[in-house]
Amino acid sequence: MTKRAMTTKLKHPAKYSSTIMDCIARTVELYAWEQIVLDSSRPLRILDPMAGVGGINELQNLIPYSLDIKGIELEPEWAEQGGMICGDARNMGSLLPDLWVPDMIVVSVPYANRMADKYLPDKYRRMTYANALGRDLTLGSAASMQWGRQYQKTMAEVWEACANMLPPNGMLILNCKNHIRASVIIPVTKWHVYTLSNFGFEQIDNWFKVSVPHMRYGQNSELRVEFEDVVVMRKCEQRTEFEEIEYPTTLPLIAVDRRVMKENWKNDGRHHN
């Protein structure tokens, strides 16, 4: 571990926002009663397999139920800071305590956007994972991957591990966000929902679109998708055979008018000279 990590807390660039956490908390509370009715002798077990600095623990303060929360984080500095289990989410079965099986998985995935850039600290203000850590990310981290096949392969392996870990009817709450690349909106969330469905999950509730504040600096700062997604899914009794989703032909890409977005950004009071 670096000297910097041992002496100072490292900020995580993609923590749960308060609005997203409130949405997740309401959703967890809505479905928690099902598990409580089945077994009221123990706390509700929640797993965050990509937990960062442990923001998932905030659920303890937002939900009036007893919770047993565990998180897995690949980067040792963030795992230690948040009291999370340090390891690769793809190996979650070997990282969690024996006989501990989650009732729910709650996860905010890397968005495969410019936060995956490999810039290390310099004179410029950058909001990336590597910049926050002060080093390159651990090999195999999805947070270091731009949108494309390697990201998709890595995240498909995470979803397969989640499918193997959750019991039938177990819940998965996904937080994700699309982004704009080469003037089109990349449907990252839809790819995750499609891929989860191939691993035996089905969407069971509304697809929540939550307005959240965003960075308004850096390259293309005026070109931001204005909301994040929260999707509720349930593991089915029977699992379908996984079929790889091709990119980009399978998923629709939505063209954006850069001039209109820039003009809207200037007119809504967020532009600062």
Residue 137, domain extent: 3-267
In a domain, residue 219? The reply is yes
pTM: 0.80
CA distance 52 to 60: 17
Distances in whole angstroms, Cα of residue 13 to Cα of each of 98, 214, 255: 32, 12, 28
What's the CATH number where 38 sits? 3.40.50.150
In a domain, residue 272? The reply is no
19 contacts 27 by C-beta, under 8 angstroms:
no
In a domain, residue 206? The reply is yes
pLDDT score of 119: 58
Cα dihedral 256, 259, 260, 266 sign:
positive
In a domain, residue 80? The reply is yes
pLDDT score of 189: 94
pLDDT score of 176: 94
Q: How many domains does the chain have?
A: 1
pLDDT score of 33: 75
Looking at the chain, list the stretches that DSSP marks H as alpha helix, in order from N- to C-terminal side.
3-7, 18-38, 59-62, 76-82, 92-95, 129-133, 149-165, 188-198, 258-267
In a domain, residue 273? The reply is no
In a domain, residue 29? The reply is yes
- Number of Cβ within 10 Å of residue 35's Cβ equals 19
Mean pLDDT in runs of 10 for the chain (273 residues)?
49 77 93 71 93 95 93 95 96 96 96 71 60 86 92 96 95 92 86 96 89 57 72 80 48 44 42 32
In a domain, residue 215? The reply is yes
In a domain, residue 90? The reply is yes
